[in-house]
Chain A
Amino acid sequence: MKKRILVVDDEKALTRIIKLNLERTGNYEVRTENMGSMAVPAAKEFKPDLIFLDVMMPDMGGEDVVALLKEDSELSNIALVFLTAIVTKEETQSIETDIGGNLFLAKPVNTKELIATIERVLS
C-alpha cells in the first residue's frame, strides 16, 4: 500500500518536483498545498502518513500549522517533518536535525535524503 505524503510549501515549483520525484518511485501518493492555511483541511481529507511542512509561508507559518494539527485529535499523530530554507547554526552542521520534537530537513535536500527520512520516520 502506498504511503500518503502531504507536502505544504509556498514554492509551487518545489512541491511539484517533490511530488514527481516521490510518485515516480511507485511507493508514495503525494498531495501538495501551497498555502499554510490549507494544510489542516488537506490533512483531514487526504489523511497523510507524513507531512512535509515549510516553516515560512506568507499566510500561515509552519509552527502555527503544527499547533492546529496538534489540537485536532484526528490529526495530532501524523508524522511531521519541517522542510525549510531558514538556516540555523544546527542546520549548517547536519542535514537532519530535531527541533522542538519535530524533524527538520534543510533545503536544498535531494530525493534520496527525502525518501530516507520518510522511511525512517514511518518505520
Chain B
Amino acid sequence: MESIGRLAAGVAHEVKNPLAIIQMGVDYLSQEISADATVDEVINDMHDAVRRADVVIKGLLDFSRDKELRLVAGNINEVIESSLHLVAHEMRQRNIEVSSNLADDIPAINLDANKMQQVLINLFMNSAHAIEREGELIVTSCLRTLDSNADLVYDHENRFKLGEKVLWMEVEDTGTGITDEASVKIFDPFYTTKPVGEGTGLGLSVSRNIINLHEGSIDIHNRKQGGAAVVMMFKLSDGGK
C-alpha cells in the first residue's frame, strides 16, 4: 500500500505539470483563435479532458492516501444528515425522493466525519446514477443484533460475530441494481460501470478503504424488490454488549 502511495504521488506530480501546461495553453489559444462553434466545442472538449484527467489523479491519490483517520467520537446520524443535505439539489433535479430512517438511540462512535461523509456522498451519488431519474433513496441507521448468518454475509472482513450488537447502516435505491459481474468486481480499483469519462472507478474502493479503517464492513447486494442496497456495519464502543 505504501508503494502504491509513492507511485500515486509520483504519477500525480509528473502528470499535473503537463496538465497545467495544456490547461493554460488551451486558455491562451481560446483567446487567440477566432472562434466559431466548432472551435468553441473543441476547446470545451479539451478543458473537459483536462478536468477528467485531474479527477482521475485526485481519485488515485485519495485511494492511495486513505491510510489515516482523525477519529473523534461523533454521531453517525449527523454525518448522514449533512451528507444528504449536500446531495439534496442533485436528488431534486433527478426527481429522487429521499427518505431517512435514523434511529435516535445510536451512541457516539469513533469516526472521521469528513471521511465518512465522503463515503456517504459517494454512495448517494452512485444511487442517483443508478436511478437516473425518478426513484427512491432510503437511508437507514439502527442498532442491530447480528442474530443470523445472513447478517454476517455482509462482513467480508470477518470482524463481527453472531450475537454481536452493531451499528447498522443501509443505503438503498430503486435503481438498476448490479450485475453478477459487477458484484464481484465493484470494490476493485478502477472498476466502473459508468460511461467513459463519468466515473473513475475509485469511489467504492476508496469507500471500502475508509470503512475498513473504521474497523467496519461494507457490502452491496441487489434488493428483492429491485435496486441495490449497501450495508455497512460498525462496532460499538462498548463492544456491542
Q: Across the interface, do B28 and A87 meet the contact criterion of CB distance under 8 Å? A: no
Whether A108 touches B25, Cβ cut-off 8 Å, given contacts A85-B12, A87-B58, is no
| B178 beta carbon closer than 8 Å to chain A | no
| A111 beta carbon closer than 8 Å to chain B | yes
Whether A107 touches B20, Cβ cut-off 8 Å, given contacts A92-B58, A92-B61, is yes
Number of A-B contacts (CB under 8 A): 64
Q: Across the interface, do B27 and A110 meet the contact criterion of CB distance under 8 Å? A: yes
Contacts of A17 in B (CB 8 A): 21, 24-25, 28
A25 nearest CB neighbor, chain B only: B31
The count of residues in chain A whose C-beta lies closer than 8 Å to any C-beta of chain B is 22
Q: Across the interface, do A87 and B20 meet the contact criterion of CB distance under 8 Å? A: no
User: What sequence of 0s and 1s flags, for each residue 95-119 of chain A, a beta carbon within 8 Å of any chain B beta carbon?
Assistant: 0000000000011111110100000
In the bound assembly, the distance between CA atoms of A108 and B54 in angstroms comes to 8
What is the minimal beta-carbon distance from B207 to any residue of chain A, in angstroms?
A: 15
Q: Across the interface, do B22 and A108 meet the contact criterion of CB distance under 8 Å? A: yes
User: What sequence of 0s and 1s flags, for each residue 1-31 of chain B, a beta carbon within 8 Å of any chain A beta carbon?
Assistant: 0000000010011101101111111011001
| A14 beta carbon closer than 8 Å to chain B | yes
Contacts of B9 in A (CB 8 A): 86-87
Q: Across the interface, do B24 and A14 meet the contact criterion of CB distance under 8 Å? A: yes
